[in-house]
Amino acid sequence: MIKKHDVKIDEGTIKVIESFIEAKLPQDYKEFLLKYNGGFPKKNIFNLNITSMLGNFYIVNSLKNWTDFIEAYKIHKNRIPKEFITIGSDVGGNEILLGIKDKYRGKIYFWDHEEEVEDDEEPDFRNMTFLSNSFTEFVDSLVVDIEE
């Protein structure tokens, strides 16, 4: 279960996002945005090659910069490989990336901010860990924090 965000988006908003990022979003992620528009999942623990707690999925047109899809895109655009966008973050400030191009399209990766490249270096995969083959597979793998 994901706490829906109050701001609704439609296909027109999706087209604007795709134009902005210069790529088509994978269908399952598009459907998620149309239904939930990001948000805070009740099931928030993932254990796929790495274990962490998801903080939130970014929200399109959020009133808070730290949860806004476009703000996150702008902040990370030159810090992550060009084949990816960030779609959420864990509670430690690391990012959940979605592949939008080439052989990475649709795949989900974890991006560790502690190990990112220096400002003068081209972003690469040294601080990235593969999580799943699709957004749906990633969401379906999430479990509830047993400490709640």
Indicate the domain borders of the chain.
2-144
List pLDDT tens digits, range 5-39.
Answer: 678 899 999 999 999 999 999 999 999 999 999 98
Beta-carbon contacts of 129 under 8 Å, excluding residues fewer than 6 positions away, are: 49, 50, 109, 110, 112
How far apart CA 33 and CA 31 sit, in angstroms, is: 5
Read off the pLDDT band of 2 (50, 70, 90): confident
pTM of the complete model: 0.93
CATH of region 2-144: 3.40.1580.10
